[in-house]
Chain A
């Protein structure tokens, strides 16, 4: 591990590489956006598209150097940003806050959207991601796709795909219309997969899934300055298996809606003003009826409803570019558990695992980008948020008072965030250096969970309403280099996180779940440190051949000296790509080193190193006004049987898979 570290540092100091790219006006504020994943398949140039057009969103996110995906099965992987899980990161859809309804994290927000709904995913690290709320590790904002940027008139698309490994069938379509005063589009996507097979044809039972997704956007310009846009996503997954967990999911359903007003005044100072009202509701039902030998049958439904709004202005004044974002949300999270005793004459056993927790957040976030000179800029952000929790249900409150007899039903917190970055751009080279501080409130599970079973470490977790805010002190730096042949970037983030929330074993309390090892209470470590560094270099051998390399190093340790869980071992990727006219072919190599610094204290074990090869080829047949793009590829060519640090309970990953994607553009 040390060698990798020193190699990486050496690369920084030699300054081998780096790159800078003139950002478009829209994303000027996102100077420090670390990664942008293009999702939409409607890009005109082939090499900007994803090679596997009908990848799941999870597969696409996994390619980002800042993201790791925790897998509990074939579906609904949980994104970790800078090695930090969903409590410490912020995932939004066009700035909207959405909260999963599952106490066992079986439904990250990313599982309620489809690639057909989105144009791109923006990853920002640390406090650069605090625009839409409090975060520690960073943010992932999923951008909706609309017909607004499409050519005038009608557009349409039909997609279909098949994957041999899990017999996944994919069908989808989209219709859009764009006119100078209004635009609209509707899309749908359907995926149906059976159990996947790990390497050596070993079937992984309970890894099937079926997913339907429909979405629509409608926008109309009231006049040249005012736009109203309404957007809806409906997503429904049924019969989803979670081989790493003791339960599956019979229903995961989301309705995500918003209405937005955009005002672009003709003014030099005020550039735009965007206000959005949104509502989303999630229903999540776990199901163990198909599992053999369950010690006790149980129902575990959960619901999460969120109402929110934000209002954001962007403007310019002299050398300042500023933005202000006022945002608020109100969330209601309920989860319950009903257990069916083997003796049918006995009463059902019922408890609230999330006792109707209401979270109300109001925040203001300010950004200022100050041009020191042509080449250098200073960026400041400041955020403040009022976060309050309330337990609205008396049954739930008295349940939690078993553990915390004096707890009050409400808890208020003030969350602050501040950051400063220095950016220097000298043509081919650009540099960024920043310092930041941020806070986050405990999640609903961490604050108010009641006997939440973690099947990775076999403990029942109990929430702690008295937890202190997590405070993160952060250092970030990146160097970019950009020339005709080389695009390169190295970036590093260091987090010193005070009051780091972890589970602490309570020897005296008996677990609730049959077979669990014991009970853990959420409590705080004095501090933990997390360091991540990644290095990307794209080299264009000539205009038809390029290589992309990625190296990622991560490290995380608590004050007690124990390694933190879900910290990736050294990770690398090499993609070699040839493209000419409408033909494109790619060889991919992905691997991890042995997981040396595994967190045995948190129930992890060591996973071995692996290297996986893949190949894909696509060709775009262009007819008059239509085009058909066919892609075929093989993943895990050698059919390697492997598991990684991010696989819950060490379930093995997919073995050899041959996929075929067809995208027909009308």
Chain B
């Protein structure tokens, strides 16, 4: 028994050092999961797909996710798969998808793939989310699928609305995920609902922000910077938060022609905008 162990260790070592193009990767390579907590596993007969995030749970709104594909025989990981995914919400009367990214190989990692999903709503009773992951290894296609538990978020991290242009939009808070009493980098994802199963990134819009604290007589903070789109497709700006607590980030969405699509300016009479996100820390 001992000899087998030694031989296998030796064999594994040889594998890792010699074969860079090998399909299978060593299981002992655990440091790839630093700061990641497993959400769940989804299996078919050949593989188990492990789903990870920083918090270890899915929440309504933007979710950055990592996954890896484990071979059921041999406990090794696939590092050359081509992966895509499709989340679907099954409701009593209808079904729809949500904004999502491509799934790409995580740079500088051997086994991990990553992407994000923006759940507009949480799982609720008989209404549930199902995630299908399709992947191809060396020309062979596989698929796994399972239901997901999407928890409702305490504060509004995502909002779905119809603009003055009669288009359905989804707007989700990406950052700050750990807000500070400081000028925070603020990132927002903005999507247009093309149809029930397809959402596309909205380009060339801008988003005005006005963070307020309703509990402090609608106190507002200085030196915020409105959001504009960067090359990554997200909308970036600066959000200053002068203290901890509950902040309502009032928003106004403007199209490329600077016409207001949704949201109102906060004034003495207008306490908040109909378009907003929330942060509490």
Binding site for B on A (CB under 8 A): 295-296, 337, 339, 341-343, 346-351, 395, 398-399, 401-403, 405, 450-451, 506, 508-512, 514-515, 519
Residue among A342, A349, A398, A405 making CB contact with B213, cutoff 8 Å: A349
- Contact indicator A395/B181 (Cβ below 8 Å): yes
B161: shortest Cβ distance to chain A, in Å? 25
- Contact indicator B182/A398 (Cβ below 8 Å): yes
Q: How far is the CA of A519 from the CA of B219 in the complex (A)?
A: 11
- Contact indicator A509/B222 (Cβ below 8 Å): yes
| Contact of B8 with A by CB under 8 A | no
- Contact indicator A510/B183 (Cβ below 8 Å): no
Name 29 A/B residue pairs within 8 A (Cβ), A-sorted: A296-B215, A337-B243, A339-B215, A339-B245, A343-B215, A346-B245, A346-B246, A347-B245, A347-B246, A347-B280, A348-B244, A349-B213, A349-B244, A349-B245, A349-B246, A351-B244, A398-B181, A398-B182, A401-B183, A402-B182, A405-B183, A510-B219, A510-B220, A510-B221, A512-B242, A514-B217, A514-B219, A515-B217, A519-B222
A511 contact set on B, CB distance < 8 A: 219
Residue among A348, A450, A509, A515 making CB contact with B245, cutoff 8 Å: A348
| Contact of B7 with A by CB under 8 A | no
Q: Within residues 206 to 224 of chain B, which ones have a CB less than 8 A from any CB in chain A?
A: 213, 215-217, 219-223
- Contact indicator A346/B280 (Cβ below 8 Å): yes
- Contact indicator B222/A349 (Cβ below 8 Å): no
| Contact of B17 with A by CB under 8 A | no
B112: shortest Cβ distance to chain A, in Å? 31
- Contact indicator B217/A350 (Cβ below 8 Å): no
B183 contact set on A, CB distance < 8 A: 398, 401-402, 405
Given A401-B183, A402-B240, the answer on whether A512 and B219 have CB atoms closer than 8 Å is: yes
B93: shortest Cβ distance to chain A, in Å? 33
A351 contact set on B, CB distance < 8 A: 181, 242-244
A514 contact set on B, CB distance < 8 A: 216-217, 219
| Contact of B180 with A by CB under 8 A | yes
- Contact indicator B181/A339 (Cβ below 8 Å): no
Shortest Cβ distance from A519 into B: residue? B222
Contact with A along B192-214 (1 / 0, CB 8 A): 00000000000000000000010
Q: How far is the CA of A337 from the CA of B245 in the complex (A)?
A: 12
Given A341-B215, A398-B182, the answer on whether A350 and B223 have CB atoms closer than 8 Å is: no
Q: How far is the CA of A401 from the CA of B216 in the complex (A)?
A: 21
| Contact of B11 with A by CB under 8 A | no
B43: shortest Cβ distance to chain A, in Å? 40
Residue among B182, B240, B242, B244 making CB contact with A347, cutoff 8 Å: B244
Shortest Cβ distance from A510 into B: residue? B220
| Contact of B6 with A by CB under 8 A | no
Q: How far is the CA of A511 from the CA of B280 in the complex (A)?
A: 20
A402 contact set on B, CB distance < 8 A: 181-183, 221-223, 240, 242
- Contact indicator B216/A399 (Cβ below 8 Å): no
A240: shortest Cβ distance to chain B, in Å? 26
- Contact indicator A401/B245 (Cβ below 8 Å): no
Q: Within residues 237 to 252 of chain B, which ones have a CB less than 8 A from any CB in chain A?
A: 240, 242-246
Q: How far is the CA of A296 from the CA of B217 in the complex (A)?
A: 9
Residue among A346, A451, A506, A508 making CB contact with B242, cutoff 8 Å: A451
Q: How far is the CA of A395 from the CA of B216 in the complex (A)?
A: 21
Q: How far is the CA of A512 from the CA of B216 in the complex (A)?
A: 7
B254: shortest Cβ distance to chain A, in Å? 21
Contact with A along B228-244 (1 / 0, CB 8 A): 00000000000010111
B221 contact set on A, CB distance < 8 A: 402, 510
Shortest Cβ distance from A346 into B: residue? B246
B180: shortest Cβ distance to chain A, in Å? 6
Q: How far is the CA of A402 from the CA of B184 in the complex (A)?
A: 9
Shortest Cβ distance from A337 into B: residue? B243
Q: Within residues 243 to 281 of chain B, which ones have a CB less than 8 A from any CB in chain A?
A: 243-246, 280-281
- Contact indicator B245/A399 (Cβ below 8 Å): no
Shortest Cβ distance from B180 into A: residue? A398
A512 contact set on B, CB distance < 8 A: 216, 219, 242-243
B222 contact set on A, CB distance < 8 A: 402-403, 506, 508-510, 519
- Contact indicator B182/A399 (Cβ below 8 Å): yes
- Contact indicator A349/B240 (Cβ below 8 Å): no
Which 7 interchain pairs have the tightest Cβ spacing? A398-B182, A349-B245, A514-B217, A351-B243, A341-B215, A510-B220, A509-B222
B105: shortest Cβ distance to chain A, in Å? 35
- Contact indicator B245/A341 (Cβ below 8 Å): yes
B240 contact set on A, CB distance < 8 A: 402
A347 contact set on B, CB distance < 8 A: 244-246, 280-281
Residue among B180, B215, B219, B220 making CB contact with A346, cutoff 8 Å: B215
B244 contact set on A, CB distance < 8 A: 347-351
A32: shortest Cβ distance to chain B, in Å? 47
B182 contact set on A, CB distance < 8 A: 398-399, 401-402
Q: Among the interface residues B215, B246, B281, which one has the most CB atoms of the partner chain A within 10 A?
A: B215
Q: Within residues 16 to 44 of chain B, which ones have a CB less than 8 A from any CB in chain A?
A: none
- Contact indicator B215/A342 (Cβ below 8 Å): yes
Q: How far is the CA of A337 from the CA of B182 in the complex (A)?
A: 16
Shortest Cβ distance from B183 into A: residue? A402
- Contact indicator B180/A339 (Cβ below 8 Å): no
- Contact indicator A296/B216 (Cβ below 8 Å): yes
Contact with A along B90-120 (1 / 0, CB 8 A): 0000000000000000000000000000000
B245 contact set on A, CB distance < 8 A: 339, 341, 346-350
Q: How far is the CA of A343 from the CA of B213 in the complex (A)?
A: 12
Shortest Cβ distance from A516 into B: residue? B217
Question: Can you name 7 extra interface pairs (CB under 8 A) apart from A349-B216, A349-B245?
Answer: A343-B215, A349-B213, A349-B243, A399-B182, A403-B223, A512-B243, A514-B219
Q: How far is the CA of A339 from the CA of B53 in the complex (A)?
A: 33
Q: How far is the CA of A341 from the CA of B219 in the complex (A)?
A: 13
Q: How far is the CA of A197 from the CA of B213 in the complex (A)?
A: 40
Q: How far is the CA of A46 from the CA of B165 in the complex (A)?
A: 91
B281 contact set on A, CB distance < 8 A: 347
Q: How far is the CA of A450 from the CA of B280 in the complex (A)?
A: 21
Shortest Cβ distance from A343 into B: residue? B215
Q: How far is the CA of A399 from the CA of B182 in the complex (A)?
A: 5
Q: How far is the CA of A341 from the CA of B214 in the complex (A)?
A: 10
Shortest Cβ distance from B181 into A: residue? A399
Residue among A343, A350, A405 making CB contact with B243, cutoff 8 Å: A350
A298: shortest Cβ distance to chain B, in Å? 10
Q: How far is the CA of A346 from the CA of B216 in the complex (A)?
A: 12
Shortest Cβ distance from A350 into B: residue? B244
Q: How far is the CA of A401 from the CA of B180 in the complex (A)?
A: 12
Residue among A295, A401, A519 making CB contact with B217, cutoff 8 Å: A295
Shortest Cβ distance from A508 into B: residue? B222
Shortest Cβ distance from A400 into B: residue? B182
- Contact indicator A349/B215 (Cβ below 8 Å): yes
Q: Among the interface residues A399, A450, A451, which one has the most CB atoms of the partner chain B within 10 A?
A: A399
Q: How far is the CA of A398 from the CA of B240 in the complex (A)?
A: 10
A342 contact set on B, CB distance < 8 A: 215
B213: shortest Cβ distance to chain A, in Å? 7
A530: shortest Cβ distance to chain B, in Å? 33
B223 contact set on A, CB distance < 8 A: 402-403, 405
Q: How far is the CA of A402 from the CA of B222 in the complex (A)?
A: 7
B166: shortest Cβ distance to chain A, in Å? 35
A103: shortest Cβ distance to chain B, in Å? 15
Q: Among the interface residues B181, B217, B219, B246, which one has the most CB atoms of the partner chain A within 10 A?
A: B181
B240: shortest Cβ distance to chain A, in Å? 4
A349 contact set on B, CB distance < 8 A: 213, 215-216, 243-246
B225: shortest Cβ distance to chain A, in Å? 11
Q: How far is the CA of A296 from the CA of B240 in the complex (A)?
A: 22
Q: How far is the CA of A349 from the CA of B215 in the complex (A)?
A: 9
A350 contact set on B, CB distance < 8 A: 181, 243-245
A506 contact set on B, CB distance < 8 A: 222
Shortest Cβ distance from A342 into B: residue? B215
Q: Within residues 26 to 68 of chain B, which ones have a CB less than 8 A from any CB in chain A?
A: none
A339 contact set on B, CB distance < 8 A: 215-216, 243, 245
